[in-house]
Homo-oligomer: A and B are copies of this chain.
């Protein structure tokens, strides 16, 4: 039950991405952990040891009240000028500037900014789609805390007997980011609990004894990207469960912050 049946030996090492349906509209103050937990029970039946639950940040932001009514926003003169030049909503530009810690690029109306969390993305994560008329949605204030809260609720329900050091499941909160030099956006991990977002193969040797090059894999981002394959952008399917992913043995839990390039190694200031 739940395992992939194949005709060959791939069966016990395959990974499944299971869509979770049944989460309706989410509003500020909604009991999101309960809603996710119920939807998983309904769609997937249960969680198993090693499952990774991937959640689109949008429903987290909404439940946490990270919505802004543009009617309450007074744009600065700078935001008004910029918006007028590039046919943007000045109140939305104002919110992008408020959410930005640092502007990376402002070019033809596109703003790439670093957020307080250290994420570099379009519009500092401010998003008008799926937010409601004249509303914008901001990133969760602390996506790692949000992930930890969801993890606690899911663990309490599906693994009530797990002890302190046990990490039966992981939780990843995602957003979709653009990338320099590459077309299109991809889902990445912005909040994480219960699992390491990095798999470190440094020091391991290839069959010829050569140390593996640049071999820290951002598995948190790869899991986020994989989940998107069942979410689709317009499917209103904000949650997926990844089953069968084999974590690097001994890897400690980490956070979404582990995926932010440390300043001293950043080649793109």
Contact = CB atoms under 8 A, between A and B. Distances in A.
Interface of A: 1-10, 13-21, 42-46, 105, 107, 110, 112, 114, 118-120, 122-123, 127-133, 176, 178-188, 197-199, 201, 204, 206-223, 225-226, 228-230, 232-234, 236, 241-242, 245-246, 258-262, 266-268
Nearest to A219: B229
Contacts of A128: 210, 213
Nearest to A42: B8
23 contacts: A1-B5, A2-B6, A3-B4, A4-B16, A5-B5, A8-B45, A14-B230, A17-B17, A107-B267, A122-B213, A122-B214, A129-B206, A129-B211, A129-B213, A133-B210, A183-B218, A199-B232, A201-B234, A212-B233, A217-B228, A222-B229, A226-B226, A229-B245
Contacts of A229: 15, 219, 222-223, 226, 242, 245
A6 to B, nearest CB: 5
A237 to B, nearest CB: 9
Instruction: Identify which of A204, A216, A225 gathers the most chain B CB atoms within 10 Å of its CB.
Output: A225
Task: Count identical subunits in the complex.
Answer: 2
A210 B131 contact: yes
Instruction: Identify which of A129, A204, A216 gathers the most chain B CB atoms within 10 Å of its CB.
Output: A129
A226 B183 contact: no
Given A5-B5, A7-B44, A181-B268, 16 more contacts: A6-B43, A7-B45, A8-B43, A17-B226, A107-B267, A110-B267, A112-B267, A129-B215, A130-B206, A130-B212, A131-B208, A176-B217, A181-B261, A181-B266, A183-B258, A184-B217
A197 B181 contact: no
Contact of A183 (B210, B222, B261): B261
A224 to B, nearest CB: 8
Given A183-B198, A261-B183, A267-B112, A8 B130 contact: no
